[in-house]
Amino acid sequence: MATRAQIAYMDEEGMEIISTYNHYDGYPDSLGKALLDHYDDDSKAEEIASRGYVSFVDPETGEIEANNTGTPDTFKSSGDLDVLLRMWYDHCNGSGADYVYLYGGQGMGNWIDSKMYDMGQDQFVNYFKEELGFGMDDYDEYDENNIDMMEEGYEKKWEKFLNESKLNVVAMALDALKDEPNLQVYLDSLENDIRLNGSEEYETYTPDDWEEDFENYMADKMDY
């Protein structure tokens, strides 16, 4: 139930993007907050985008946890921003990213974020071109939920999650796994997965199903 993301930095001319993979808690309340609070200038943004692999970034301290090593992915285009963004979209989509974060734009100085699911390549490119300040060609309407996700406060998004999610699923998991260690880590990830993908998958879970899912999650987390 990892919430994957890509963290990227674009040069001021819009000719190169450097992008690194983030494995856990890539949603705006966690990774987005960490980027805004601790990596919100040109040098720091380029530094984190050049890490190559990130397991988790603590939103309170900005501390980076990296259980694996890797090299960043670099995309270059000779002045064609459209092509550059399409290359980056294909990479983000192929990496299974749920969210993407890009630091750049004319004048630099800002993080731009978007969810990936339900985001087609044309919408993705047009959205980032507008937000980067380079202008747009043919702009298609896109889901308003893709805009200014970082500006939407934690309390508002958490309330939306509570209202839209079926909280009995979390209660079922808690009842089945109440004696397991590190349970809160699993429950936090479960809540985020429900927020992203809905709760239908879990509604028919038996206690054995919950135990198997918990064991698989913890084994996956240890691998990273």
Which residue among 152, 174, 197 closes a domain? 152
Q: Say if residue 172 is in the same domain as residue 138.
A: no
Residue 178 in tokens:
């109440």
> Mean pLDDT of all residues in the chain?
81
Q: Which residue has the higher pLDDT, 135 or 198?
A: 198
At residue 121, does pLDDT exceed 80? yes
Q: Say if residue 209 is in the same domain as residue 113.
A: no
User: Residue 3 — left, alpha, or beta (φ > 0 → left; ψ -120 to 50 → alpha)?
Assistant: beta
Among the residue ranges 119-123, 126-130, 176-180, the one predicted with the least confidence is: 176-180
Tally of domains within the chain = 2
Q: Say if residue 147 is in the same domain as residue 163.
A: no
Q: Say if residue 108 is in the same domain as residue 83.
A: yes
User: Which of the four pLDDT bands, split at 50, 70 and 90, describes residue 159?
Assistant: low
Q: Say if residue 140 is in the same domain as residue 183.
A: no
Q: Which residue has the higher pLDDT, 183 or 154?
A: 183
Beta carbons within 10 angstroms of residue 19's beta carbon: 25
Residues 6 or more apart in contact with residue 216 via CB below 8 angstroms: none
At residue 167, does pLDDT exceed 80? no
Could you give the CA distance from residue 201 to residue 92 in angstroms, rounded to a whole number? Answer: 25
Q: Say if residue 29 is in the same domain as residue 127.
A: yes
Which residue among 117, 132, 152 closes a domain? 152
Closest to 94 measured CA to CA, from 123, 116, 68, 70 = 116
At residue 189, does pLDDT exceed 80? yes
Closest to 158 measured CA to CA, from 3, 29, 37 = 29
Beta carbons within 10 angstroms of residue 100's beta carbon: 27
User: Which of the four pLDDT bands, split at 50, 70 and 90, describes residue 48?
Assistant: very high
Q: Say if residue 24 is in the same domain as residue 49.
A: yes
Q: Say if residue 167 is in the same domain as residue 132.
A: no
CA dihedral sign of residues 118, 120, 124, 127 = negative
Q: Say if residue 22 is in the same domain as residue 132.
A: yes
**Helices 207-223, 183-197: crossing angle, 10 deg rounding:** 100
Q: Say if residue 90 is in the same domain as residue 122.
A: yes
Q: Say if residue 101 is in the same domain as residue 169.
A: no
The average pLDDT across 53-73 equals 93
Could you give the CA distance from residue 68 to residue 221 in angstroms, rounded to a whole number? Answer: 12
Rg of the chain's alpha carbons, rounded to an integer? Answer: 18
Q: Say if residue 36 is in the same domain as residue 144.
A: yes
Is the whole model's pTM more than 0.95, yes or no? no
Which residue among 152, 179, 202 closes a domain? 152
According to the model, what pLDDT value does residue 47 have? Answer: 95
Could you give the CA distance from residue 124 to residue 80 in angstroms, rounded to a whole number? Answer: 15
- What is the percent of the chain with per-residue pLDDT over 70, rounded to a whole number? 79
CA distance to 2, 19, 73, 102, 201, per residue, from 132 (Å): 28, 16, 20, 9, 37
Q: Which residue has the higher pLDDT, 117 or 49?
A: 49
Q: Which residue has the higher pLDDT, 17 or 108?
A: 17
Q: Which domain holds residue 48?
A: 5-152
